[in-house]
Amino acid sequence: MLSQLVRFSIERRAVVLTLAVALIAYGLVRLGDAGLDIFPEFAPKLVVVQTEAPGFTAEQVEARVTQPLEAALGGLVDLAYVSSESIQGLSIVTLVFDEHSDTYRNRAQVAERLAGARARLPAAAHEPVIAPLASSSATVRTIGLTVSDDDLMRLRDITETVVVPRLLGVAGVADVNVFGGVERALVVAPDVNALARHRLGLDELAAAVARAAARPGLGVVENASQQIAITASGDELDPQRLGSAIVRARGLERVRVEDVADVAWGGLPRISAAQIMGRPAVVMMVIGQLGANTLTVSNALEQALADLAPVLAQQEVTLHGELFVPARYITTAIGEIARHLLVGGTLVLLVLLVGLYDWRTALISALAIPLSLLAAVVVLVESGVNLNVLVIGGLAIALGEVVDDAIIDTENIYRRLRTALPGTSFEEVALSASLEVRGSVVYATFIVALVFVPLLLLGGVSGRLFAPLGLAYILAVIASLVVAVTVTPALCVALLAGRSGQRAEAPVFRAINPWYGRAVAALARRPGVALAASAACALAVVIIMPGFGARFLPDLREGHFIVHTTALPGTSLDESLRMGGNVTRAFLAIDGVRSVSQWAGRAERGADTYGSHYSEYEVALEPMSGPRQQAVLEALREVLASHAGWSFEANTFLTERIDETISGYTAPVVVNLFGRDLEALDRTGAEIAALAARVPGARNVRLRAAHTTPNVSIALDPGRLARHGVSAADALAAVEAAYAGHELGEIHRGNRRVPVTMMLPPATRARVEALAGLVVARHAAGAVTLGDVATIRQTAGRYNVLHRDGQRLQVVTAEVAGRDLGSFLDELRERVLAEIAFDEGMHAEFTGAAVEQASARRELVLHALVCTVGVLLLILMAVGRLRYLLLILFNLPFSLLGGVLAVMLGGGVVSVGSIVGFVTLFGITVRNSIMLVSHYDHLVRVEGEPWHLDTVLRGARERLPAILMTALVTALAMLPLTIDSDNPGREIMGPMAAIIVGGLVSSTLLNLLVMPALLHRYGRFAAGQGR
């Protein structure tokens, strides 16, 4: 089939070349249209439902919001499991679907169920909201606003009415999470003493305010001809008008709202706060839609912000538009890769010119690069795979590979043309020369592709991240194979025909050949030396490699850091900002830090659903090198470690996103305890935690859902309630009205809805002692306070309540040091089941990263083993004899030695990128070895040469240009990436390229010197004994 394909390509070369030109043109068009993103979509398929329940404790949220929602959302198609978290004021239900389910159908199912679930929720809870469909990278941009007079209410008004609507109008924006500022409300702050003086209760005041704020629809006047709408004016509500509303009219007495309350523009209770460079601010995170192109959306946002700038400046608002711009990293990374492609491609061209000594031949080989890469791009884009840093990285790695096939083919045709007999048909020479090397090249290509297959089969987030890289690489090398069997022969015939007598060997090879021949001859006469050298290198590799460290990804130099701090639950927003202000000043003192912004708490519909004790910081850097960025990161961590009272993390955005998504359990050992009773769960969980701490090897044992947040408990006394003639509902309604804020109506300012709410003044709400004096009812004889009907005391409450599949959950996590995870988990399981008494209905599940890791590793090893068998079979088929297979395998460590040394010099840490480098090296070595064996076989079997030293030398010299050029081309293509590999855009591919460059040195020595010597000693080529 291959011979027919090559023959067709030569005979119909015009067609083939036209198709090639069309492919290049189409590929360039698709490349131009293709979206560019940082990483592929790697988040699992999940739908998050958030329900705000202001004023509810975690236990109340669990009982009254979360449980009804879970009941309503169970049993959906493709639902894997449901987990939930109930925190103060918010319910978060996360539905995780099967990896292969349809995202939109999942959301449709959830929306359908939610429509019916609302009726089961308390009136005070807001409508359940499905979090917007966002990309895995989530944040497209973070911007902030500050105002000259630090009026946070005005700032929030501007944010909500001007900025957010404009940003939401940008294509590709899913949501804007707003932190900070103060949400405006028309606040009625009752004066409890004035109410008492006027013998009024909160309920009467609330009723009066609700009446004043009511704005019903007025209907229409309809006659035979027309329908005329009725509208009212002069009823716009503001503090003055609301204050003059009547609460009680009795005889001549008029008690107005302003007599018993302060009415003013005020703020709703905050759930978030923010500051920029230590100044109060509003911070907005712009979230991208699923599948949206980060670069395109970011550029559109840039335009939108430019449009807004004059409007904001008029209102003395400063726009901080670049607190975090992920697209910068894409631009930098793509730019680096583009530069690499340019420099590498130029170096490749130079090598081809020097090595082939003919510009046409060099051009033919070089054209394989754009053809192969663009073909791969077309396939990827048409398959719906977005171009991202990893995909483009895969193509960049393949740069050196894709040109090798063309070099081998072109060099062989060129050499055959030089030695062809006069009068021989050019097409026949090209055909036979092409077919001579075709089989080996095909085998080698498939071997390399097969080695990447385990990457494609990797499950979970790892697979979603790295499969596109593997796919891009495989597509590129397969495309290069197709190019080598079609376009290259066609181009050779088209450009080289009629020049058969004018080809000379390249001067560089003319100079090297004598020396090379002597070296090969010397080593061939002493095969023991070659064998010993190979064995020694193998030993060295085996000794050195296990000592390497391992990491998933290298540190990415994004020019930006995300810092998280978590204080004790119950820490107020103001305290979080105070602590944040401390470190902000310290961060800004670090050389290279451009800006620092902080937000504390959470935003509505935000993905981060934490309390006021949690803060996140965006630390933007000046442009700087990778090592300097690392130094800044260490300085940040030093500052954070020096600040007491919190736990922290500091990382780049992408590393953090991957870490958040990649691990369902960040702790190695996790004990999930399921049960019905929260107190019993806490008690048993604490026992398990205490026991786990005693198991040898345990470290950092934690109980996740602990009692840590301060609560005020109001224990209503039924007897006292009855004595005072007050119902429990009335008493609690008064507390709600005073502390949670009771929305009594709404007004509209322009396009903005402003709630009218009643709430005690902040100074009163700040004192727990004021609760006892809260008037809950009023009789003719006087007032009844909360202290009259309840016992009020301070307790420790729950920060959160966890569920899994509708069951209450307590989690104990632990780390392990000094022993293997598996045995620790086994011992823990055994002791827990033996020593802990579980209440009825309670059971434990033992899992964690250990279990996940073992499962993932088994899958990987399984796939790798299957592929290894396939690779060995292919090598055997390519070389024909078992002894040659064994020779190739025996010498493989020699070829890898250079890569191993490159890892050592680079810090001794291996990442997934490094493994890709080793795999590439393996492929190159195997291919060159196959080529050598095949060539010797051709010389003996086809050309009738006897198998002796001269044949060995001849074959080695004939293969020298191809081997040397492919090695040089690949090495030089990778070389630009190895320089300053710790810089933005080169982090993943730099170590990979270093391994390839280092490994090519040893691999080339192997194939040029060691293999010919060992084949001379152990090879058994004979005429008639073909493959």
Partner 1 sequence: MNRAMLLLLGIAGGFLLALGALRLGLLEDAGVPVPGAFDEATQAAAGDDDDGQDDDDDDDDAVPQRVVVAAGRRYVRLDDAEQALAGVASERLGTTMLSPERQVVGIVADDLVLAAQQAALTLARERRDAQAATLAVVRERLARLRGLAGQGQLGAAREIAELELAARRERERALQLAEHVAQAEQVLATQWGGELVARTAPGSALAAALASGETALVTFALGAAGEPPAGVAVGIDGVREQARAARVVAPAPAVLAGSNRASWHAVVAAPALRHGMHVDVWAETAHEPLEGVLLPDGAVVWHGGRRWYFVQREAALFERVALPAQPPGLAAAFLPASAAGDARVVTRGAQTLLAEEFRGAIPDEDDD
Q: Which residues from 602-621 bind partner 1, rule CB under 8 A?
A: 608, 610, 613-614
**Distance separating alpha carbons of residues 338 and 878, to the nearest angstrom:** 36
Pick the binder of partner 1 from 229, 504, 781, 834 (CB under 8 A): 781
Is residue 558 within the footprint of partner 1 (CB under 8 A)? Answer: no
Is residue 710 within the footprint of partner 1 (CB under 8 A)? Answer: yes
Is residue 647 within the footprint of partner 1 (CB under 8 A)? Answer: yes
**Distance separating alpha carbons of residues 142 and 291, to the nearest angstrom:** 19
Is residue 816 within the footprint of partner 1 (CB under 8 A)? Answer: yes
List Cα–Cα distances, 75 to 67, 71, 465, 511, in angstroms: 14, 9, 30, 76
Is residue 462 within the footprint of partner 1 (CB under 8 A)? Answer: yes
| DSSP letter for each residue of 206-273 | HHHHHHHH------EEE-SS-EEE----S----HHHHHTSEEEEETTEEEEHHHHEEEEEEEPPPSEE
Is residue 666 within the footprint of partner 1 (CB under 8 A)? Answer: yes
Q: Is residue 274 classed as helix, strand or coil in its secondary structure?
A: strand
The residue type found at 676 is: R
Pick the binder of partner 1 from 566, 727, 807, 847 (CB under 8 A): 566
**Closer Cβ to partner 1, 211 or 779, answer by number:** 779
Task: Give the binding-site size for partner 1 (rule: CB under 8 A).
Answer: 120
Q: Which residues contact 978 (CB under 8 A, 6 or more apart)?
A: 990, 993, 994, 997
DSSP letter, residue 623: S
Number of Cβ within 10 Å of residue 555's Cβ equals: 16
Pick the binder of partner 1 from 3, 244, 346, 582 (CB under 8 A): 582
**Closer Cβ to partner 1, 744 or 774, answer by number:** 774
**Distance separating alpha carbons of residues 438 and 194, to the nearest angstrom:** 97
Q: Which residue, 274, 269, 272, is CA-closest to 54?
A: 269
Instruction: Name which of residues 826 to 855 contact partner 1 (CB under 8 A).
Output: 849-850, 852-854
As measured in angstroms, the least distance from the Cβ of 73 to partner 1 is: 18
Instruction: Name which of residues 853 to 892 contact partner 1 (CB under 8 A).
Output: 853-854, 856-858, 860-862, 864-865, 868-869, 872, 876, 881-882
Is residue 579 within the footprint of partner 1 (CB under 8 A)? Answer: yes
Pick the binder of partner 1 from 433, 583, 844, 931 (CB under 8 A): 583
Instruction: Name which of residues 523 to 552 contact partner 1 (CB under 8 A).
Output: 549-552
Q: What is the number of residues in the chain?
A: 1027
Is residue 380 within the footprint of partner 1 (CB under 8 A)? Answer: no
In degrees, rounded to 5, the angle at the alpha carbon of residue 717 between the alpha carbons of residues 713 and 719 is 175
Q: For strand 807-816 and strand 698-703, is the pairing parallel, antiparallel, or unpaired?
A: antiparallel
Is residue 629 within the footprint of partner 1 (CB under 8 A)? Answer: no
**Closer Cβ to partner 1, 44 or 592, answer by number:** 44
As measured in angstroms, the least distance from the Cβ of 692 to partner 1 is: 13
Phi and psi dihedrals of 624, rounded to 5?
-160, 165
Q: In what order do the strands lie in the sheet with 184-190?
A: 261-267, 184-190, 752-758, 742-749
Helix axes 389-419, 912-937, angle to 10 degrees: 20
Pick the binder of partner 1 from 25, 29, 817, 949 (CB under 8 A): 817
Is residue 96 within the footprint of partner 1 (CB under 8 A)? Answer: no
Give the binding range for partner 1 (CB under 8 A) out of 209-217, 288-296, 330-338, 453-461: 453-461
Number of Cβ within 10 Å of residue 1004's Cβ equals: 22
Pick the binder of partner 1 from 49, 444, 640, 771 (CB under 8 A): 640
Pick the binder of partner 1 from 45, 628, 637, 804 (CB under 8 A): 637
Phi and psi dihedrals of 171, rounded to 5?
-60, 135
**The two three-digit tokens of residue 575, written as one number:** 């305290």
Strand runs (DSSP E) across 15-74, as ranges? 36-37, 46-52
**Closer Cβ to partner 1, 43 or 508, answer by number:** 43
**Distance separating alpha carbons of residues 940 and 954, to the nearest angstrom:** 11
Instruction: Name which of residues 417 to 446 contact partner 1 (CB under 8 A).
Output: none
Instruction: Name which of residues 288 to 347 contact partner 1 (CB under 8 A).
Output: none
Helix (H) or strand (E) holding 815: strand 807-816
- Please classify residue 227 by burial: count the beta carbons closer than 10 Å to its beta carbon, then call 0-12 exposed, 13-18 middle and 19+ buried: exposed
Pick the binder of partner 1 from 587, 599, 799, 1021 (CB under 8 A): 799
Q: In what order do the strands lie in the sheet with 173-180?
A: 173-180, 282-289, 134-147, 317-324
As measured in angstroms, the least distance from the Cβ of 1027 to partner 1 is: 12
As measured in angstroms, the least distance from the Cβ of 651 to partner 1 is: 8
- Contact of 925 with 899, CB cutoff 8 Å: no
Is residue 1022 within the footprint of partner 1 (CB under 8 A)? Answer: no
**Closer Cβ to partner 1, 884 or 947, answer by number:** 884
Instruction: Name which of residues 44 to 73 contact partner 1 (CB under 8 A).
Output: none
Pick the binder of partner 1 from 570, 592, 761, 806 (CB under 8 A): 570
Strand partners, 188: 263, 758
As measured in angstroms, the least distance from the Cβ of 815 to partner 1 is: 5
Q: How far is CA 612 from the centre of its chain?
A: 25
Is residue 569 within the footprint of partner 1 (CB under 8 A)? Answer: yes
Pick the binder of partner 1 from 659, 687, 827, 839 (CB under 8 A): 659
Pick the binder of partner 1 from 265, 665, 846, 1018 (CB under 8 A): 665
In degrees, rounded to 5, the angle at the alpha carbon of residue 121 between the alpha carbons of residues 116 and 125 is 120
Q: Binding marks (x or -) toward partner 1, 690..709, rule CB under 8 A?
A: ---------xx-x-x-x-x-
Is residue 360 within the footprint of partner 1 (CB under 8 A)? Answer: no
Number of Cβ within 10 Å of residue 774's Cβ equals: 24
Pick the binder of partner 1 from 281, 524, 567, 940 (CB under 8 A): 567
**Closer Cβ to partner 1, 405 or 815, answer by number:** 815
Instruction: Name which of residues 165 to 224 contact partner 1 (CB under 8 A).
Output: 191, 193-194, 196-199
Instruction: Name which of residues 223 to 282 contact partner 1 (CB under 8 A).
Output: none
As measured in angstroms, the least distance from the Cβ of 81 to partner 1 is: 13
As measured in angstroms, the least distance from the Cβ of 65 to partner 1 is: 18
Instruction: Name which of residues 4 to 43 contact partner 1 (CB under 8 A).
Output: none
**The two three-digit tokens of residue 77, written as one number:** 């198609």
Pick the binder of partner 1 from 262, 575, 717, 827 (CB under 8 A): 575
Is residue 630 within the footprint of partner 1 (CB under 8 A)? Answer: no
